[in-house]
Amino acid sequence: MMETAPRPADADRRRLLRMVEEDEIDLDFVAAEAGDRPLDAGERARHERIRAERGDRFHADLIFALAHERLPPDEAERLWAALRAHRARMALALGRPVSIAVGALDYLTAGASEEGESLVICRERRLASLADVALRDGLTGLFDHATFRARLRGELDRFQRHRSPFAVLLLDVDRFKEVNDRHGHRVGDAVLRRIARLIRDEARRIATPARVGGDELAVLLPGAGPSDAAALGERLRSRIAGAFASLTGVTVSIGVAACPDDAIDLEALLEAADVALYRSKRLGRDRVTRHDELARRKFRESSAVARPLDGRPAS
């Protein structure tokens, strides 16, 4: 019997599952790899497969999942060994099990100073990286909603003191419910992680990228005006559309608002970005909309209504 060619949906799902496998090293994987919990036979086989597939990158991927810090393979391998040894010493001293996350936090904020600074990265960078871990969303590695709002308040305070402009992007994954319904939440989670990684790669280090809802992401851009923020939004939109072009056609809609152009109050600024985001959705998704452009459009439309067609002032 002749074997039928796979349907596009089947090929689509296989590509998505390969993408899931690329993102298999998360915090749960790291904890299991460190021995925080026992592995069954299936999990052991999966860990062995991933170790073999990642090769020299394996320990670097473990450290990145744990601390969101990308290190060269040799440094990552040394750090991983140091973290496990420090965790073991902590457990012995405390008389109880210690997770790899707790051991890493203690080592990188205090314990490493006892062994000198030659291992890995400078102390200030270690502290900043590990302090950030507690403020991040566990799935995507982006900052969480509370941290985003706190940093947004900080930018508003800075604006009040120094008149420093800034902008906000709100991003919503288009048709995300369809991805979850069709392919399952495991694939949906992988899609969010991939998009988050693209945002981190594209945004400047000074920016604050965050997950502010289920499939809603945000970027805070200190020093940026509406045009700069919209340009970044367009780069993000294009990269994300390209990354998923051959998979599910996943895209993002983006709204842009800026301080002081659109608002000088936290809730008003977020509302302005949300209105712009909703406009992107209404116009067909996969696009970037600036709130100030909406305001100018409304002004032009209201002016046109108030004037007769010959252009003379309305009586």
- CA separation for the pair 208, 210 (Å, rounded): 6
**Spatial distance between the Cα atoms of 277 and 291, rounded to a whole number of angstroms:** 9
Ranges of H-type helices in 163-184: 176-183
Strand partners, 253: 172
User: CB neighbours (10 Å) of residue 262?
Assistant: 23
**All residues at 6 or more sequence positions from 295 whose CB lies less than 8 Å from its CB, including other chains:** 262
Phi-psi region of 311 (alpha: psi -120 to 50; beta: other; left: phi over 0): left
Active site residues: 215
Q: Which alpha helices (H) appear in 163-265, and where do they start and end? A: 176-183, 185-202, 226-243
Q: Round to whole Å and give the CA distance between 32 and 38.
A: 7
